[in-house]
Amino acid sequence: MAIRKFKSNNVSLSNNTYTIPSFVEYLVVAGGGGGSFGGGGAGGFVTGSTTVSRDTSYTVTVGNGGNGSITSSIATSGGNSVFGSIVAEGGGLGGGDYYYNTGNSNIGPGRTGGSGGGGGHGSGYGHQGGGYYSTYGIVQGYVGGRGVQSSNYGGGGGGGANAAGANATDVSGTSGGAGGNGISSSISGSSVTYAGGGGGAYNANGGSGGGGKGSSDGSNTTAAVAGTANTGGGGGGGNAAGKAGGSGIVIIRFPAVFPKAKSTTGSPDTSGSDATWHVYKWTGDGSITF
């Protein structure tokens, strides 16, 4: 992440002068979508810098991961994460197994989200993966892959922050699609990969959860795996039961030449702070005032 030049806002208070940065850097990651037969889409990934004002409270919301589903139910999409006016959209749910739900025409497709959920399969055909959100011209993630239906069948991979979910393959050795890759960020003080898509299920097997990396697939695993907490990873798809998406996270930082924030709520983790940066990391709802 490039370091930008920070200006300050000065104010006199009881003959003392304190300053705040005009800008803070942020990373906002939404909750990942739950897996069903298709993998869950990763939570939206939004990063950049934004202006802040003195004595203003900025709300922080951390999205929950979506619920995974069994074959007779529909998974849920991830929750949105928010910092002030900046919103990351929750990941789309993975499409279900239409074979067990012939009366429910909505169960097969993956859903739109920060990244789209992977498609499930239907009676003789596979369902399309979900789309993604692009807000203010900023792409938060990518589309989910398509599911297939044949003598063996696979679910599509959930989209990730850095790549689309892969389509399930409809050839000998059919497999679920891999989840789309996430993106690494060092804003917390160490490099972490966020917002990978969940892998799609394959026949009787399940796809791995996207976690942070999103490089999983459903070809050789025996059980679905949930998305990693506080990365926005999509939940893995499963033939019997898909898994939950990972919860999101909100992180901000600004140069340590400025004083710490005046107040916070939600008990943000500041362990990533050092002589260069003040770092605040929320894994639950809260606020910050400069």
Domain membership of residue 17 (yes or no) is: no
Domain membership of residue 247 (yes or no) is: yes
Domain membership of residue 15 (yes or no) is: no
Domain membership of residue 223 (yes or no) is: yes
> How much is the pLDDT for 86?
95
Domain membership of residue 122 (yes or no) is: yes
| Domains: count for the chain | 1
How far does Cα 43 stand from its chain's mean position?
A: 2
> Contacts by 271-279 with C-beta closer than 8 Å and gap 24+?
271/189, 272/188, 272/189, 272/190, 273/189, 274/189, 277/189, 277/253, 278/253, 278/254, 279/187, 279/188, 279/189, 279/251, 279/252, 279/253
Please state whether beta strands 16-21 and 23-29 pair in parallel, antiparallel, or not at all (unpaired). unpaired
Domain membership of residue 1 (yes or no) is: no
> How much is the pLDDT for 136?
62
* CA–CA distance, 109 with 288 (Å, rounded to integer): 39
Cα 289 to Cα 12, 20, 114, 264, distances in angstroms: 17, 10, 27, 6
Tens of each residue's pLDDT in the chain, 290 residues:
444 555 545 443 333 456 888 899 999 999 999 998 889 999 999 999 999 999 999 999 999 999 998 766 789 999 999 999 999 999 999 988 766 665 566 677 889 999 999 888 765 455 677 778 776 667 899 999 888 776 567 888 999 999 999 888 765 556 788 899 999 999 999 999 999 999 888 765 555 555 544 444 444 445 678 899 999 999 988 877 788 999 999 999 999 999 999 999 999 999 999 999 999 999 999 999 99
pLDDT, tens only, 235-263: 988 877 788 999 999 999 999 999 999 99
> How much is the pLDDT for 193?
92
Domain membership of residue 153 (yes or no) is: yes
230 close to 176: Cβ distance less than 8 angstroms: no
Domain membership of residue 13 (yes or no) is: no
User: Domain range holding 111?
Assistant: 24-290
* The pTM of the whole model exceeds 0.85: yes
User: Is 289 buried (19+), middle (13-18) or exposed (0-12) by CB count in 10 A?
Assistant: middle
